[in-house]
Structure 1
Amino acid sequence: MSIAPEAARLSTLLLRQLADLVAGLNEHQVGELLAGRTRLTLTAAQDGRAARPAPQAKAALPAAVDVEVLRTALLGATSREEAAERLAALGRVSVPQLRALAGALGVDGVGGKDPKASVIRKIVDGTVGFRLSSQAMLSEETDL
């Protein structure tokens, strides 16, 4: 087999895997990649198998929260304040529950030690904040 067809075959396989990876990202993650604030990183799998994170105990989502309804409300909010008010309307929600909610909403970057205010800010930024920032950047007039 000549080198050119083999290189083309390997490139095709790599691009398919990359496409599958990108297809699994949420809107926020794709936007972060496109804006250059996030990078894809290759790491070697140990023993030829994909590395898996250590299992962690997960907090349950608040019982009264419909994640899809909340996602729609947050994405439709016209301001960060409106999104924060929507989260405040959930009532008493523990920090672990907020972290679980962030995960269910596809919000990245929420750490296990983030305080409540930080988790709320990250949820707002990861939903409506991303859209509002993108709109603001696109609406700015620039002279090139």
Structure 2
Amino acid sequence: MVGRRVIPWILHYVAHTGSRELFRLAVLAIALGVAFGAAKLFGVSLALGAFFAGMIMSESELSHRAAEESLPLRNAFSVLFFVSVGMLFDPFSLISNGWPVLATLAIIVIGKSLAPFVIVVAFRYPIATALMISASLARSANSRSSWPNSASG
């Protein structure tokens, strides 16, 4: 009950100061504060606490502005996440598990092109159509990871 009334009021008050930096700082402080508070008070994870913070902030009329202002921070945190996950990778696992890694690679590279080809040929379409669909679906699966960045830029 407090979060639904107090946090939108705080965001509204800070937005009327006219300072983008102060608004960005308020959004970050509220998000981290709610996440940490939920983790300590209710014994949930910080990730679930951050979800609660997002739900509370979405109640505000300024939720779109808050999301827009926190976009650079979100990108920075996602980079930190992927760098930290990458640091957990052990390159020697490629050597010790060579055959399973090669089998997985073959399934991904060959299988994702071969499956649509077989399906299109099974429906009695021409080979040229099957090849075009197979190649386009294989390409679209590779470019999915860059889709959110291309939509915003």
User: Normalising to structure 1: TM-score of the pair?
Assistant: 0.24
Q: Which has the higher contact order (CA 8 A, sep 6+)?
A: 1
User: Normalising to structure 2: TM-score of the pair?
Assistant: 0.23
